[in-house]
């Protein structure tokens, strides 16, 4: 079982076997990673995309996220997200997409969740037609 402080390093290690990882490589490793047992109360998975200016510049974000909810001994909840974030210049086509899709929506049935994400038009368009300007894999508290 992985501890929260180990998850980012573990996922980065999984992805590092690719010299120049594609979106599909990262997606497939991310799917495998979500099957790993992590010491938390409630894990969830999120697919999210849209144009945001979190970086100070408007970019199209295409994110695979694993969220960890854990209650500490002092009853304080902690929510951390481990994010695989692809960034793109926001083309006119990409600007039309804005999606937030949680595994909660499917009672955490991950196989169905992944199948539904892969069926999304934006997923197909991005993996087939776009090259990201950046990939970031990071974990933070939310």
User: pLDDT, tens digit, for every residue of 52-101?
Assistant: 998 889 999 999 999 999 887 788 888 999 999 999 999 999 999 999 99
Range of lowest pLDDT (18-32, 39-53, 71-85, 117-131): 71-85
Nearest to 23 by CA among 96, 104, 117: 117
Residue 123's pLDDT is: 98
How does pLDDT run across 95-125, given as a tens digit for each residue?
999 999 999 999 989 999 999 999 999 999 9
Across the range 43-57, mean pLDDT stands at 93
Residue 76's pLDDT is: 83
Residue 43's pLDDT is: 86
d(CA 42, CA 36): 13
Residue 3's pLDDT is: 93
Alpha carbon 30 to its chain centroid, in Å, reads 8
Global pTM exceeds 0.85: yes
Q: Nearest 5°: phi and psi at 53?
A: -115, 35
Across the range 18-47, mean pLDDT stands at 94
A 10 A CB-CB count for 106 gives: 16
């Amino acid at each position: 079982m992985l501890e929260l402080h180990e998850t980012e390093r573990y996922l980065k290690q999984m992805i590092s076997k690719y010299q120049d990882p594609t979106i599909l490589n990262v997606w497939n490793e991310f799917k495998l990673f979500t099957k790993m047992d992590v010491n938390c109360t409630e894990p969830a998975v999120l697919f999210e995309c849209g144009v945001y200016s979190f970086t100070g510049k408007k970019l199209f974000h295409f994110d695979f996220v694993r969220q960890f909810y854990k209650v500490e001994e002092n009853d304080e909840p902690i929510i951390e997200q481990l994010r695989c974030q692809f960034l793109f210049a926001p083309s006119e086509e990409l600007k039309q997409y804005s999606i937030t899709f949680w595994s909660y929506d499917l009672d955490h049935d991950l196989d169905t969740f992944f199948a539904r994400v892969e069926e999304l038009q934006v997923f197909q368009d991005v993996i087939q037609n776009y090259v990201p300007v950046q990939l970031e894999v990071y974990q933070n508290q939310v």
